[in-house]
Structure formats: C-alpha cells, structure tokens
Amino acid sequence: MSKEQAPHIAVDQHDDLHTVRDWVRFFVSEMRRGHVFFGHGSSNAFDEAIYLVQSALHLPIGDLNPFWDARVTSREKVQLTNFITERVDERKPASYITGEAWLQGHSFKVDKRVIIPRSFIAELLADQLTPWVNAPEMPFDILDMCTGSGCLAILAAYVFENAQVDAVDLSAEALKVARENIHLHDMDSRVKAIESDLFSNLNGKQYDFILTNPPYVNEASMKKLPPEYLHEPRMALAGGDSGMDLIQDILEQAPRHLKDGGFLVVELGNEKLHFEAAFPHLNPIWLETSAGDEQVFLLNKEDLV
C-alpha cells in the first residue's frame, strides 16, 4: 500500500486544524485518500466523518450545527488522531473504533467479538412485520437465531411489547456482548441469551416466528472482502462454499420449532442465486427492504414442512 493510500498521521501535524469543521473536512479527505470501504452503517465519507468526530469529542450524535466552529483542544486532537489512524491505516470499521453501532435509532455496544449490526430485518421489525403479524400486541414467543450482539432480539422486544424473545448464538463471546446490550436496554426480563448450536439447546421449544441473519457469505466472496470486514469474526460471516451451509441446517430444523401458523424470516445478503440453486423446491416470499426484494425471505411453517 502506498503512502498516498495509507498516510501516517501524527498529532503535531495538525496545528492548523482548529475547529470541528476543520476536523470533519480532514477526516473526509483522509478517508477518501485511504480508499476506505463503507459497509457498516455509513455509505459515504462525509456522514462517517461526522459520526467519528462526534464520538471522539463526546458530542451528541445528531445535529452538529451548534458545534461546527467550536475549537478543539490539544487533548481532543490526540483522540481525533487516534480515530482517523485506526480508520485509515488499520481499516477498522467505525463501530469498532467507537464501540457502538446504531440500528433503527437504538445504540448497541459492539466490539470484535460480534458482527457489526446492519440487518435489513431491522427495517421489517420497524413495520411490525406487517402484514405477516396481524396483532402485534399478542404475547408472542420469538427466536432470534445467530443473534450476535443481540440487536434484532432487542428490537423485536421493543416492537412486540408483550413478547418473550430468545437470543441464540453458538459463540459464548458474542453472547457476553448480547447480554450487555440486553441489560443496557433494560430487557433482562423479556430477552434471554442462550448458547446453542442452532436449535440443539432449546429443548424442543416452539416459537410464533423465527428471525435469523446467519453467516451466508460464500467462500469465493469471503476471499474478496474489503479489509474492514476482516476485523469481524469469520464465523459470523462465512457460510461455506455456496454460503448455504447454515441456512440449510436452519431450514431443515426450523419446522420443529415453529408453532402452527408460524413463519421463518431469513436474511441472506446477495446469495439469492445460490439459495435458488440449493433449494429449487422452495417458493419463499421475498420481502421488500431498502436494498430491494432479494435480501430477505419469509417461509411459512407449512412451506418448510
């Protein structure tokens, strides 16, 4: 990597950066020069620069207008320099630098033990899974399989106020983060984190619906991932040669854990073609999200059986 792509940044080089405005501009320039990849919440250098500067300076996340011309202290310059060095030189995703990620207006603790939350299922939850859920006030039993940070389980508990939610993951380390998030969101009485290899430790429990954003990246795509993704746990991304390894197991086992009339919602990224090749007998309902209608599908229990 050339010096132009990954600049070495020292604090004493920043005597001419005085205000928040100066630092946001500098962050934009450095990220563009370093050719960083945006795929963990932000889609462009400007939005991410604002977020990183706000976080480094402990400013409220949101409107930066009152602070554009505020002067930055020498001590704050050290933190800002650390942030941009990690983002550009080390290619860390912003959420691993700040220790938090935002999804549907809620903040979640994240670190390298968990994948950074970015599921399109969160959009569907914001709409209460309409029209598939007719009475959101019902006391549902919900399962979030491959929960990671616990974000979807917690969002489901917010949306379905009388539901009980099980947040399942194979990774004991990921579940430590999930439990922290459950406690931070005051959901200890309604969201339960369970260590399990898929359904193996659920004792045959059945659910009204199951949500899952499992590892689905095919091996060829894993080898081409930008450096930012290599900071995330491989087990949270890699789905085998075709990306369908875990999805196949989930599809086979889910019917036994769904109540009559229940359904399964699965996110599979850009793997629709691999899915259709692996499961030509299935006829899922593809759900519309901001990414289109090829990222998330729904199958009723009857279809799975």
pLDDT digits (tens, 9 = 90+) for 220-253: 999 999 999 999 999 999 999 999 999 999 999 9
User: Is beta strand 292-300 parallel, antiparallel or unpaired with respect to 258-267?
Assistant: antiparallel
DSSP 117: P
- Largest separation between any pair of C-alpha atoms in the chain: 66
- Whole-angstrom Cα distance, residue 172 to residue 287? 31
Q: How does pLDDT run across 131-147, given as a tens digit for each residue?
A: 999 999 999 999 999 99
Does 113-304 match 11-98 at the fold level?
no
Query: 253 Cβ partners below 8 Å, 6+ apart?
Result: 198, 199
Which helix (H) or strand (E) segment holds residue 275: the answer is helix 272-278
User: Which residues 6+ apart lie within 8 Å of 161 measured at CB?
Assistant: 136, 137
| CATH architecture designation of domain 113-304 | 3-Layer(aba) Sandwich (3.40)
When the pLDDT of each residue in the chain is averaged and rounded to a whole number, the result is: 93
Average pLDDT of 11-28? 87
| Residue-level pLDDT at 84 | 97
Q: Where are the domains of the chain?
A: 11-98, 113-304
Note the pLDDT of residue 98: 97
Six-digit token pair at 56? 């480094």
Does the N-terminal peptide bond of residue 131 adopt cis geometry, omega within 30 degrees of 0? yes
Domain 11-98 has CATH 3.40.1350: no
SS in 3 state form for 173-189?
HHHHHHHHHHHHCCCCC
pLDDT in tens, 205-218: 999 999 999 999 99
